[in-house]
Amino acid sequence: MSTEIASLGEFGLIDHLTKGIELKNESSKYGIGDDAAVLVYPAGKEVLVSTDLLMEGVHFDLTYVPLKHLGYKAAMVNFSDIYAMNGYPKQITVSLALSKRFSVEDMEELYAGIRLACQQYGVDIIGGDTTSSLTGLAISITCIGEAEKDKVVYRNGAKDTDLICVSGDLGAAYMGLQLLEREKAVFKGEAQAQPDFTGKEYLLERQLKPEARKDIIEKLAAANIVPTAMMDVSDGLSSELMHICSQSKTGCRVYEEHIPIDYQTAVQAEEFNMNLTTCAMNGGEDYELLFTVPISDHEKVSQIEGIRLIGHITKPELGQALITRDGQEFELKAQGWNPLKENEEVSE
């Protein structure tokens, strides 16, 4: 049986969802329970703040996204933005707008995912808000993090001859989304539909339960490497590379043969008759880290597991290009996901 949210009221719902939360970080002086949270950051640290807004029907589809996974992912995409600045997330606030079709139990599921993400990554939930919505579910999360003053990495620091590196593999999250959308279309209207995703688990996990790359930030720190520029791959590798080049006033060369792609992604692209490189370059939602390092760090960065060297930064007049396996040069285009453009698709 489901419990109507109205039966608890706004403050009752927040109390219910945040019950038992204990603050773990020293910088979290006071959390939920007052008009504002209180944070204290030590000298020598920069404070990083990132906000993401996720809208039902635009960023997620509850036909195939479980609420617990959605909560986990909503937290994770914010953590990823802080890691992309070479910092560590410490606190989040969570604001929800929900329609009457959601019950207290639904929100418990959503919060279970958020709390799991926070528990695993050492982040405190310190506040938020809830309100009613006429258009479904909206989730807004603000993440606060910290970084040492001389270690914060921006998008605008890449220099000619810097090496371009990326963590993990690319295109799997986009393939997972295509898979879910196909099954949704196939089983439309069938309440008891049970699609078979055997052998596709990695693709679904990358779409439904992404992991922010805290481990890569830790490995870079251990190797004494401070990237010259960095972003997370949320809208597609091509788009993010163009951002770095634009802000750094440089060009780049990235090599198709060096782009890391998982076997399941390749198999699925073939099954869908899609161009694999296009999917890897433009798919988005991988939440891997794209960064540049000085050429003098080549040996150090090459020895770090989970990082691939995919190209180099050039002078701006050389432009931004993808070099194909057969040596052809194609200008990079930002064909990835654009939330402000209708019916946006990854095209070949």
Continuous H helices in 228-293? 237-248, 263-271, 276-282
340 lies in some domain = no
Q: How far apart are the first and last CA of the chain?
A: 48
CA-based torsion, 260, 263, 265, 269: positive or negative: positive
Parts of the chain with a pLDDT under 50: 340, 343-348
85 and 167 part of one domain: no
Beta strands at 124-132 and 88-98: parallel, antiparallel or unpaired: parallel
| Cα 343-60-66 angle, rounded to 5 deg | 150
DSSP letter for 324, please.
Answer: P
137 lies in some domain = yes
pLDDT of residue 344: 44
114 and 31 part of one domain: yes
Residues 96 and 107 sit within 8 Å (Cβ to Cβ): yes
pLDDT of residue 183: 86
Residues 32 and 18 sit within 8 Å (Cβ to Cβ): yes
pLDDT of residue 125: 96
318 lies in some domain = yes
215 and 121 part of one domain: no
pLDDT of residue 86: 98
pLDDT of residue 197: 83
pLDDT of residue 343: 46
135 and 277 part of one domain: no
CA gap 206, 191 in Å, rounded: 25
243 and 312 part of one domain: yes
**Residue 76: CATH number of its domain:** 3.30.1330.10
pLDDT of residue 331: 94
173 and 106 part of one domain: no
Helix (H) or strand (E) holding 219: helix 214-222
pTM of the full structure: 0.92
pLDDT tens readout for residues 288-304: 999 999 999 999 999 99
Q: In the numeric block, which tokens belong to residue 343?
A: 């019916």
Domain range enclosing 103? 5-151
Total structural domains within the chain: 2
